[in-house]
Amino acid sequence: MAFDIATFHADAVRTPSHEDVSEMRELLCETLRGAGFEPAVDDLGNVLATRGDASADGPHVVLNTHIDTVAPHVPYERSDGEDSDAGDVVRGRGACDAKGPLAALLAAFLRVEPTAGKLTLAITPDEETLMTGAAGLEAELEADGYVVGEPTSLDVCIAARGQCEGTITIEGESGHAASVSADRNPVFGLERILAALRAYDEDAGPGADPVLGEPKLTATALSGGEAPNRVPESCRLTFDRRSVPPETSESFRADLEGYLQEHVPDPLSVNVDLIRPDTPFPTAFVTDDDADLVRTLQAASGGEVRPFGAATEAGFFAADAPTVVFGPGVLADEEGAVAHAEREYVRLSAVEAAADALEEALQTLVG
C-alpha cells in the first residue's frame, strides 16, 4: 500500500485522541500493517516498529513522537487555496502537535531501507499527561540517536528545559482571627515564602546553562482558609519549575525544601511535594551541536540549531544517545499560540519538507 502523507495526516487530525488514544493507535497500526510491517504495542501502549538488521554494526536511530493531544478536540479543516480541499493549511487538534510530526516521521520510516544499521519507530500514548510511555521506552531502548517529533519549524532543536510541578505547604496555628498571633499565622508566612522563591535561583539554583539559559521558578496558585474570621492551620502554594541540567525534579524538590526551611521562621514549618510524584517528569537535556545526528539533519533541513521552547519527552532518551527535537509547524506565531490553541494549524508543505529532510538524513545515517 502506497503511503500518502496528506491522507494519513488528514485521517490522524480527524481522529480524536484527547481522551482516548485507542482509535488513533489503531490508525497508526493499520497504516504500518498496510505497508508490510507488524507493529508491536507494549504494556504501556507504545507502538513500536523496526526495520533493518538488528545484528548489523551500523547505527540504530529511533524516531519518536506521541499520538495523544490536549483537550478539546478541534475539527479538521483544510483551506488557504482556491479549493478548500486542496489548500496548504490544515487546522485541527493535533495538526502540528504532534500529528504533523508523526506523519513526517512515519513517511521517512517507510521510505528508508536501512543497509548499514537499524531504524525504529517508537510512538508514545501519553506525552501530554503522564509521560509513562516515554519513561518505559527509556528503559527498553538502546540507540545511537533519537529524533523526537514536535513542531520546530524544521529547526533542529538540541536542548530543552525540564519541567515539574509541586506544592509548598506552610503550617502554623489555626484558631480565631482575634487570638492567633501573626508569627503563627501561615497566611502571613506566605510573604517570606514568596520572597524566598524570587531569590532561590540567585542564591541556590544550578545557574544558567550555556544553551538553555536560566531555569525558571513560577508560583501559579494559592489555596487555604475556610472562613474570614478563622486562621487556617495551613495554606498551600503551587509552583511550576522549568529546569536546566544537572537539576532533576527530585533534586529540585529536596533543595527547594531545604532552602525554604531556612527562610521560614519558627514556629511555622514548610514542606515541598511534587504533584504526581509516582509518574515521571520531563528532564532537561542538551545534545552536543557537533553530533553526527545534529549536523546531518541540519544539513538536510536547512533549519537553525537551537533549543526547543517547551517540555518534551526527548529528555528521557538524551541520556542514552544524541537526541534532537524536529518537525513541521510552530508552537506559536506572530498572532499568538498555535500548538494547544483553538487555531492550531500546520502547512502540509512543511510536513512534506520535514519528511524529505528526515529521509535524506536517515539515508546518510543508516541507508
Which DSSP string corresponds to 268-337? Answer: -EEEEEESSTTS--PPPEE--TTSHHHHHHHHHH---EEE-SS--THHHHHTTS-EEEE-SS-SEETTEE
Domain layout of the chain by residue ranges: 5-160+284-365, 162-274
- Partners of 157 in beta bridges: 306, 325
From residue 121, give the alpha-carbon distance in Å to each of 8, 39, 65.
Answer: 16, 9, 9
- Partners of 345 in beta bridges: 91
Query: At what angle are helices 5-14 and 22-34 packed, to 10 degrees?
Result: 160
Residue-level pLDDT at 53: 79
Q: Which of 333, 343, 346, 183 is nearest to 265 (CA)?
A: 183
Indicate the class that CATH gives domain 5-160+284-365: alpha beta
3-state secondary structure of 2: coil
pTM score: 0.91
8-state DSSP, 70: P
Length reported for the chain? 367
Residue-level pLDDT at 253: 96
Query: Domain 162-274: which topology?
Result: Alpha-Beta Plaits (3.30.70)
pLDDT in tens, the chain (367 residues): 689 999 999 999 999 999 999 999 999 999 999 999 999 999 999 999 999 976 777 899 999 999 999 999 999 999 865 544 468 999 999 999 999 999 999 999 999 999 989 999 999 999 999 999 999 999 999 999 999 999 999 999 999 999 999 999 999 999 999 999 999 999 999 999 999 999 999 999 999 999 999 999 999 999 999 999 999 999 999 999 999 999 999 999 999 999 999 999 889 999 999 998 778 889 999 999 999 999 999 999 999 999 999 989 999 999 999 999 999 999 999 999 999 999 999 999 999 999 999 999 999 999 8
CA distance 64 to 317: 10
